A = this chain, B = another copy of it.
Amino acid sequence: MPSLRDAARGRILFGGDYNPEQWPEEVWEDDVRLMKDAGVNSVTLGVFSWAKIEPRPGAREFGWLDRLMDLMHTHGIGVVLATPTASPPPWMGAEHPETLPRGEDGSVVWYGSRQQFCASSPVYRRHAAALTEDLAARYADHPALTVWHINNEYCTHCWCDGTAAHFRRWLRDRYATVEALNEAWGTAFWSQRYDTWEQILPPRKAQYMKNPTQVLDFKRFTSDALMECYLAERDIVARHTPQIPVTTNFMPLWSGQDAWAWSAQEDIVSVDVYPDPKAPQAAQYNAMLADMTRSQAAGPWMLMEQAAGPVNWRGVNHPKPAGLNRLWSLQSVARGADAVCYFQWRQSRQGAEKFHSGMVTHAGENGRTFREVKQLGAELATIGEAVSGADVPSEVAILHDWDSWWAGAQEGRPSRLLDYTEIVQSWHRALWESGISTEFARPEADLSRFRMVAVPQLYLLTDAAIDNLVAYVRGGGTLVCGFFSGIADADDRIRPGGMDVRMRDLCGIRTLHEWWPLDADTTVECDGFRASVWSEELEADPGAEVVSAYRGGELDGLPAVVRNDRAYYVSTLPEPDALRSLLGRVAAEAGAVPVLAGLPEGVEAVRRGDLLFLLHHGRGSVTVPVPGAQVDLLTGAAVNGSVDLGRYGVAVLRGATL
């Protein structure tokens, strides 16, 4: 199987989306000059080129792309070649309106933006396949080709009649009989029983709350329907070029694609990461997405898109202060990225994203942004050979699951303030601030190699997942399970007792009386800390230890944190310091230690292979004590006992070979 290693070849890929069709060809030569100047060794071509290649149905205009492929090859720049199927040309919607998506309310989603295709449309799929076939055939042997990039950020949902028919086929595959579907969906409630397959629809606009399992299955279906589009194109290119790795770029921690399922179908896992430079937890967010993507890739991964400066889709789009682009890029490398790429090479002058920064901004080569890009390119070239392909070791797993997210994020739940991704981020933050390296895993994965497993909040757990957790703890593992977990089965059916009995037994909970979600901006007091979002009225097993109890209010004296041997249950969301302290202590008990002890505030340490990355997220200067004699690969300087890091400073240390 081809992999990122084949494209990286001992380097870190550096470059970005390149949309030369937006510029006159005379600009291309200038692009190449600046790319060489910046150390760019990889560009992504073709993402939005459908209308350029196929200006009318059946046409093929490849000449410009031939010239570009050759130009890149001439200058030693590899090409990540995209199937341009994310954005069909206007003629598609105009001639085949049934390819246009429809919203829950039946209204048409028109062309004039991007991604306006119904994944269930045979017409769309036929055109996309034909174009992919021709593209793959034409460039299969081109020496510039390094990676296939299928489509782009698959995300479009559709509720049209064609989707309905496709959804029914998907449901038939899942349930075989209408009776089984009725049972799974609980259609006895509210008189929703279906008598025939033909009656079943996507969850469209309704009078009141929708059937939650129908909504859950529709999310599963939509992820699968989009993946069918991906697989169809992947299979075409793989047939032409079995040696070239294939990817599609994810939006990370995004609800529309089950990235566990998708990544299993990719040779390279790639992702688009856009932290808000002003967000207080942006550095940890960047780390979390790196950890998550590395876990999906089971090794090095590709940062397909980030922004060299501001994006344009937030309410207020903040630029990256000097040094931040470099810092976060190196943080991604520390956490497993073997490719650091951007959307996009040259900032657009026209169109909806002309205020999204590029590696070359409107300010051009004299702009601060490009100067920093150049520095980064040189540094990545310096460390590339040492870092490329290396692993990031971790002894703690955080469980994360799309089914659970989908089922738990619906209307009619105990609290709309319960935000799954915020809980996941809170738990990752606690471990990140503790300096403990983490991976993400799906609940059914083999967990035996981890010293500790954290379940921030998994509302839905399959039987297999529950059995997996029980076996993990029986096998000597340490589990910390957050609130509102193990509630529902795979069909979003509440388990007897309100929480699965195996999970209750595991965690030492006799009875779960009530969930007591908290109002916004309110907290509950527990022994030793305050907490927010959620609380629970629990009765612990007599043999369990109450680690912390609620104080005051209706839950006064009832258990907040329960421990049953090596299984902990946390029935609320402790404030950040308390959660960090709790998880840090449990991890220590489990033998999972920080990467490097004694770090100053704001400094992150990451081991990758035999390298130690030190990343300083603060704006002052710090001195970081480091063990033994080391060399900083970025500067070549010898390090003995400590290293000084300035604002946004980074060191990449390797033990000095004596």
Question: Is B516 a contact partner of A191 (Cβ separation < 8 A)?
Answer: no
From B188, B315, B322, give the contact of A416 (CB < 8 A): B315
Q: A115-B207, A519-B316 are in contact. Are A22 and B189 (CB under 8 A)?
A: yes
Q: Is the CB of B514 within 8 A of A310?
A: yes
Which residues A351-386 have CB closer than 8 A to chain B? 351-356, 361-364, 366-369
The one of B198, B278, B368 that contacts A514, using a Cβ cutoff of 8 Å: B368
A494 partner residues in chain B, CB cutoff 8 A:
347-350, 354, 362
A191 and B50: CB pair below 8 A?
Answer: yes
What is the bound-complex CA distance between A369 and B318, given in angstroms? 51
- Contacting residues, chain B, for A316 (C-beta < 8 A): 414-417, 517-520
B residues within 8 A CB of A449? none
Given contacts A114-B208, A203-B112, A205-B109, contact A352 B189 (CB under 8 A): yes
Contacting A353 at CB < 8 Å: which of B189, B213, B214, B362? Answer: B189
| A511-B366 in contact given A193-B55, A201-B110 (Cβ < 8 Å) | yes
Q: Which residues of B contact A51 (CB under 8 A)?
A: 187-188, 191-193, 195
- Complex: chain B residue closest to A185, CB-CB: B350
Q: How far is the CA of A89 from the CA of B178 in the complex (A)?
A: 14
The distance from the CB of A121 to the nearest CB of chain B, in whole angstroms, is 14
Q: CA–CA, A205 to B219, complex, Å?
A: 22
- CB pair A412–B313 under 8 Å, yes or no, is yes
A657 contacts B by Cβ under 8 Å: no
Q: Does A571 sit within 8 A of B, measured CB to CB?
A: no
In the bound complex, what is the Cα–Cα distance between A208 and B351 (angstroms)?
12
A321 to B600, CA, bound (A): 46
A62 within 8 A of B: no
- B residues near A1, Cβ cutoff 8 Å: none
Is residue A262 contacting chain B, with contact meaning CB distance below 8 A? no
Q: How far is the CB of A328 from chain B (nearest CB, A)?
A: 16
Tell me the number of copies of this protein.
3
Main secondary structure of the interface of A (DSSP, over half): loop
Could you tell me the distance in whole angstroms from the C-beta of A231 to the nearest C-beta in chain B? 22
Q: Do A110 and B355 touch (CB < 8 A)? A: no
Q: Is A21 in contact with chain B by the CB < 8 A criterion?
A: yes
List of B residues within 8 angstroms of A367 by Cβ: 511, 513-514
Residue A254 is within 8 A (CB to CB) of chain B in the complex? no
Q: A301 near B: Cβ within 8 Å?
A: no
Let me know if A186 and B350 touch, CB within 8 A.
Answer: yes
Q: Does any Cβ of B come within 8 Å of A319's Cβ?
A: yes
A350 closest partner in B (C-beta): B186
Which B residue sits closest to A21, measured CB to CB?
B188
Interfacial chain B residues near A498, Cβ < 8 Å: 361-363
Minimum C-beta distance from A326 to chain B (A) = 15
A295 to B514, CA, bound (A): 35
Which of B19, B188, B192, B363 contacts A111, CB < 8 Å?
Answer: B192
Report yes or no: B363 in contact with A512, Cβ–Cβ below 8 A. yes
By CB atoms of chain B within 10 A, which of A88, A316, A347 has the most? A316
- Chain A, range 145-198, C-beta contacts under 8 Å to B: 156, 185-196, 198
Contact A514 B112 (CB under 8 A): no
Q: Which of B209, B366, B520 contacts A352 (CB 8 A)?
A: B209
A248 at the interface (CB under 8 A from B): no
CB of A311, distance to nearest CB on chain B (Å):
9
Question: A537 at the A/B interface (Cβ < 8 Å)?
Answer: yes
- A334-351 vs B, Cβ < 8 Å mask (1 yes, 0 no): 000000000000011111
* Residue A84 at the chain B interface, CB threshold 8 Å: yes
Asked if A90 CB lies within 8 Å of chain B CBs, one says yes
Kindly report which residue of chain B lies nearest to residue A498, judged by CB atoms: B362
Q: A312 — which chain B residues lie within 8 A by C-beta?
A: 412-414
Question: A464 in the interface, Cβ–Cβ < 8 Å?
Answer: no
Instruction: Give, as a whole number of angstroms, the nearest-CB distance from A217 to chain B.
Output: 12
A210 interface neighbour in B112, B191, B214, Cβ under 8 Å = B112
Q: What 9 A-B pairs are tightest by C-beta distance, nearest first? A: A186-B350, A189-B351, A362-B498, A113-B206, A209-B352, A51-B193, A87-B191, A319-B514, A110-B204
* Known interface pairs A186-B348, A317-B414, A355-B413; 15 further A-B residue pairs with C-beta atoms within 8 A, sorted by A's residue number: A89-B193, A105-B107, A106-B108, A114-B208, A190-B351, A209-B353, A212-B350, A212-B354, A313-B412, A317-B517, A319-B516, A349-B494, A362-B496, A367-B513, A368-B537
Jot down 28 A-B pairs with beta carbons below 8 A, ordered by A.
Answer: A19-B189, A48-B190, A52-B193, A87-B190, A91-B195, A94-B198, A103-B205, A105-B105, A106-B107, A109-B205, A111-B192, A116-B207, A156-B207, A186-B348, A186-B349, A189-B348, A212-B350, A213-B350, A316-B414, A316-B519, A317-B414, A348-B494, A349-B493, A350-B491, A350-B493, A361-B498, A367-B511, A367-B513
